[in-house]
Amino acid sequence: ENRLGSGALNLSTELGRGIWVMADPKALGTVIENLLSNAYKYADDPRQTTVTLDGDRDDVFIVVSDLGNGIAGKEMSRIFQPFYRVGDELTRQAPGSGLGLFLSKEIILRHHGEIRVASRGKGLGSSFTIRLPRLVK
């Protein structure tokens, strides 16, 4: 939010305590920053973005949710492909290369995790869930 300007994302966080993963902090930060950047690019004011960190015995879950443009069902299976961009006019006006989600997925896979997306459809926002193996301390 510091890069975009205070309040630009209307960001709220729900962060669990005592949750650890074995990860490259810079790489994981790149993934989170990409998801937050997309939440900014693909939503109109007033934005509402939430980041949640939680876990169970085996896994850690990071969820980035927004109330932006959402993703049509037919686009979901392609959203992590390189150079793919959602094909409506509004999306085409937003700057980007179509590599951010592809690179995010590659980073998460290299951390032995997974990333998936959910959306109730166009105009209804989206939610990206990252699952990583939990580090037991």
Please give the average per-residue pLDDT across 109-124, as a whole number: 93
Residue 84 has pLDDT above 90, yes or no: no
Taking only the tens place, the pLDDT of each residue in 19-33 is 999 999 999 999 999
| Burial letters 6-43, b for 16+ CB under 10 A, else e | eebbbbeeeeeeebebebeeeebeebeebbbebbbbbb
Taking only the tens place, the pLDDT of each residue in 20-67 is 999 999 999 999 999 999 999 888 888 999 999 999 999 999 999 999
What's the pTM? 0.88
In degrees and rounded to multiples of 5, residue 122 shows phi and psi of -60, 130
